[in-house]
Structure 1
Amino acid sequence: MTQYPPRHPGVNIVPIHGKTPKIHETAFIAPGCTIIGDVEIGAGSSIWYNCVLRADVFTIRIGERTNVQDGSVLHCDPPRPGDDEGCPLIIGDDVLIGHMAMVHGCTIHDRGFVGLGAIAMNKSVIGSDAMLGAGAMLTERKVMGERELWAGRPAKKLKDLSDAAIAGMRIGVAHYAENAKHHAAAVKDAL
């Protein structure tokens, strides 16, 4: 894990409270992003245009080959009296987070999916290979099991996902990993 170059054009990297974001050298961070504090981003992951990752009060951890799409906001909550664990934001490997999502103090297991404009709140959990539908709101402490589709506001389980749906999500992960390489080259060439 290496620190992202602090002078990368168009990306705001903001250390705070003695914590500086740590971003793997193979991760793609698009111009317009702001990444603050105790954030770690794994190999091959991509953070797309105009995302905000703010770990000023606790931690944000993002695994490998995960993508956070344009305009998404990621935050966390600190430990407090009566809640010694706080609400870190923990995101596994091969996760898809759709455009304009709000992901706050929750856990998304490997290969989880957050749809366009969806919200996942403190202490909620998205299981492996599970999908939170577009526009859905997963309220505090709700737990989605593996391979489940949840939708609505508040989100509720609709069904178990088929093998074809799971395969489609994995194709999406591969697409974003490849597309990030093209965007990284395009951004570099534009300088």
Structure 2
Amino acid sequence: MTNVSEALTTVRPTVLPYKGVLPRIHASAFLANAIVIGDVEIGEEASLWYNVVVRGDVNQIRIGRRTNIQDGTTVHCTHERFTTVIGDNVTIGHMALLHGCVIEDGAFIGMKACVMDGAVVEGGAMVAAGALVTPGKRVRAGELWGGSPARLLRPLTEQDKATLPLTAPHYVRLSRQYLDEIG
């Protein structure tokens, strides 16, 4: 059985400077074994889960309040062209890839989705699991996009719209439970 001090080392993030710029991470953020490098800002009560990589080495990355980025996701940016901006209350599913894009407040990105350079996912929009949002596309509020390349599948249902705001608070509670456990 692992003792508590050994268990604590399994949730320690790696936070590294790049060219003298150290990530700025709000004290209430939860980083579970995530790697965060360079010009990155992470807002209050955000959570980056196991094996998330956020690499702000060639441009800026901004992650908003209460946003959750789930296991195995990679967030990067585009050299001298596109920053990556992720708003407040966003849910990013497991193993997603976000590169030089904008994800607005309250958007939802499904597992293994890829959102590429210059793409925008508006607040209140959903990108389905496995979707490939190609460069420069705009997923509008109230839409569900899926496929490869991604295209509009349908308007969000009333149930979809009611469910969207529930995920971010769930992950805030879950991250607080983890923090309580490790003290």
TM-score normalised by length of structure 2: 0.92
- Corresponding residue for residue 19 of structure 1: 21
Q: 1:163 Cα shift? A: 2.5
Q: 1:72 Cα shift? A: 0.3
SS in 1 for 2:57: strand
Distance 2:97 2:110 in 1: 10
- Corresponding residue for residue 88 of structure 2: 93
Q: 1:173 Cα shift? A: 1.2
- After TM superposition, the runs of 4+ consecutive aligned structure 1 residues lying more than 6 A away are none
- Corresponding residue for residue 36 of structure 1: 37
Cα deviation, 1:54-73, whole Å, max 9, x if unaligned, reads: 00110000111100000100
Structure 2: 5+ residue stretches without partners:
1-7
- Corresponding residue for residue 138 of structure 1: 133
Distance 1:134 1:159 in 2: 15
TM-score normalised by length of structure 1: 0.88
- State how many pairs are aligned: 174
Distance 1:65 1:163 in 2: 23
Q: Where do 1:109-188 residues align within 5 Å?
A: 109-186=104-181, 188=182
Letter in structure 2 aligned against 1:45? A
Structure 1: 5+ residue stretches without partners:
1-7, 80-85
Letter in structure 2 aligned against 1:133? A
1:106 corresponds to 2:101: yes
RMSD of aligned alpha carbons: 1.1
Distance 1:144 1:70 in 2: 23
